[in-house]
Chains A and B, each alone.
Chain A
Amino acid sequence: MSGFRTLLYKETLRFWKVSFQTVGAPVLTSVLYLMIFGHVLEGRLQPFDGVSYTGFLIPGLVMMSVLQNAFANSSSSLIQSKITGNIVFVLLPPISWFEFFSAYVVASVLRGVVVGTGVWLVSLGFASTGVAHPLWALAFVVLGAGLLATLGVIAGIWADKFDQLAAFQNFLIMPLTMLSGVFYSIHSLPPVWQKVSHLNPFFFMIDGFRFGIFGQSDASPWLSLAIVASALLALVAISLAMLRSGYKLRG
């Protein structure tokens, strides 16, 4: 397994060496959201009883950063390696497709967690939320990050060009995160849109994480857990099948 360990180390070092962009920038973005939305909407919206709007927003932003960065890490690392050609250094050694998959996913989950932690630490300067159920919170962070990291592996392998990856990000990841209830409770939506939101796995990741933080949520945490875990398993199966077949990586 030392091929796995080295690849994990390399993937972690890769984002850590440029942490200004890979960690600092997303933390700043979230802080901006927190300042602007918190300021504009504070007092106008109170989705959960006993929770201020800024307090409500924080777990959403933390989870959004976790998810987006987990996706960005695996997908951009893979496409860069493919386009520059240095992916051969990973393809030539005796590293199995499972080790390959695990290393990219674990490194991406790490980046998601590091950025999420950064956002959470900074948010303490705005409002303190406490953590009602730490295990639930952690479960949703890890599963959600794993899901997006896996999706990033799929997108990174599938895309041949940076703009294909950008399309994936702009037309799939962004809308799904923005419409997942980061900024509002879906109970404030008209019934039709509440139904539509229930088709969005991102909603369950963020709602489940909020349950971990506040002990209250729009959906049952067990339902969220089941949906997130099934989506994760499905994507893992797809990406392992792609890797095993050598799709796009071993022509």
Chain B
Amino acid sequence: MSPSDVPAIEVRQATKRFGSLQALGGVDLEIRQGEFFALLGPNGAGKTTLISALAGLQRLSSGSIRVMGHDVVSDYRAARRALGVVPQELVFDPFFSVRELLRIQSGYFGLRRNDDWVDELLVSLDLASKADTNMRALSGGMKRRVLVAQALVHRPPVIVLDEPTAGVDVELRQTLWQFIRRLNADGHTIVLTTHYLEEAEELCTRIAMLKAGRIVALDSTAGILRRVSQRVLRVRVEAAAALPLALAGLGAELEADLIRVPFETHDQIEGLLGRVREAGLRVQEVEISRPDLEQAFIEIMQGAGA
């Protein structure tokens, strides 16, 4: 097996119990090198628990995890060197300045002359002007960017970001994603969790959805979107007093001059438009709503049962 065939992350039958609570119920997951991968799921689904096990912060009740082929327990040194984790909680060490912290973090990984890369991180994350500021004096969004920088001091091939954009303003979110995309283009594997589904849809090529500690969907982003059964046809008409009866029966709605009709397959469209015309309405504009990840998420979570 050549090195590039080794999965970036390989999770085998991972379970984790906290007392009687089953936080992970047998997760199998393989993430290839170079992927931009999203781990999605509602609050309490087990995303952070999985990431903690991956990072060696928590031990699995059973199962195993490898990072770049290194078992996170038996070969923890190599596994941790290959992994950079941005934790979900906004944690920081109040005793140090940003630059001191990044130097210390480099030292933990055995990197004693890392200032060039630290400077690059500071610039890329728009922190250069805060380099000598104490952590206590940073805003929440800035602290989050320091967390990202800390995770990257050792240039890990695999980068895991647990809700990196929570509390970060729009502009900085753009800066952050631009930077992460560049890292991905340079060959880094990116795994992220987020509750902003449009972010995941835009950035990630593959998605796993987790619910109550189990994977309920695992597919390419396009594949996940194709699963959305419900689409909506929007027809703008010239002056409609009431919804045509022929459409009302299909669950359509009228709002001012806009008729919204749900449908499932594209061969229904012709027929629907025909009914609009038959009702004597003149069609001005037609739009088919693109299925989005939010819709897919809702359907998959509902479909996955309680």
> In the complex, which residues of chain B have a beta carbon less than 8 angstroms from the beta carbon of A3?
107-110
| C-alpha spacing A148/B94, complex, angstroms | 26
| C-alpha spacing A85/B89, complex, angstroms | 8
Q: How large is the interface on A (under 10, 10 to 19, 20 to 34, 35 or more residues)?
A: 20 to 34
Q: Please name the residue on chain A nearest to B112 by beta carbon.
A: A2
Contact stretch, chosen from A25-33, A90-98, A187-195: A90-98
Q: Please name the residue on chain B nearest to A81 by beta carbon.
A: B93
B104 near A92 with CB under 8 A, answer no
Residues of A within 8 A of B (CB): 2-3, 5-7, 9-10, 13-14, 17-18, 81, 84-86, 88-96, 246, 250-251
| C-alpha spacing A199/B121, complex, angstroms | 56
Which 6 pairs, one residue from A and one from B, show the smallest C-beta to C-beta distance? Answer: A6-B107, A93-B108, A85-B91, A94-B77, A251-B58, A94-B80
A250 near B108 with CB under 8 A, answer no
What sequence of 0s and 1s flags, for each residue 145-157 of chain B, a beta carbon within 8 Å of any chain A beta carbon?
0000011001000
A contact face: mostly helix, strand, loop, or mixed: helix
| C-alpha spacing A160/B89, complex, angstroms | 18
| C-alpha spacing A91/B87, complex, angstroms | 12
> In the complex, which residues of chain B have a beta carbon less than 8 angstroms from the beta carbon of A251?
52, 57-59
B80 near A93 with CB under 8 A, answer yes
> In the complex, which residues of chain B have a beta carbon less than 8 angstroms from the beta carbon of A10?
104, 107
A93 near B93 with CB under 8 A, answer no
A92 near B107 with CB under 8 A, answer no
Q: How large is the interface on B (under 10, 10 to 19, 20 to 34, 35 or more residues)?
A: 20 to 34
Residues of B within 8 A of A (CB): 52, 55-59, 76-78, 80-81, 83, 85, 87, 89, 91-96, 101, 104-105, 107-110, 112, 150-151, 154
Task: List the count of A-B residue pairs having beta carbons below 8 Å apart.
Answer: 78
- The residue from A5, A14, A17, A81 contacting B107, defined by CB atoms under 8 A apart: A5
> In the complex, which residues of chain A have a beta carbon less than 8 angstroms from the beta carbon of B52?
251
B110 near A2 with CB under 8 A, answer yes
> In the complex, which residues of chain A have a beta carbon less than 8 angstroms from the beta carbon of B101?
89
The CB with the most chain A CB atoms within 10 A, among B57, B58, B96, is that of B57
B110 near A92 with CB under 8 A, answer no
Known: A3-B109, A3-B110, A84-B91. A9 touches B80 (CB 8 A): no
Q: Please name the residue on chain A nearest to B110 by beta carbon.
A: A2
Q: Using A84-B91, A89-B105 as known contacts, list a sample of 14 further A-B pairs with CB atoms less than 8 Å apart, ordered by residue number in A.
A: A2-B107, A9-B104, A84-B93, A85-B87, A85-B91, A88-B91, A90-B108, A92-B57, A92-B83, A92-B85, A93-B105, A93-B108, A246-B59, A250-B57
> In the complex, which residues of chain B have a beta carbon less than 8 angstroms from the beta carbon of A81?
93
| C-alpha spacing A85/B78, complex, angstroms | 24
B76 near A94 with CB under 8 A, answer yes
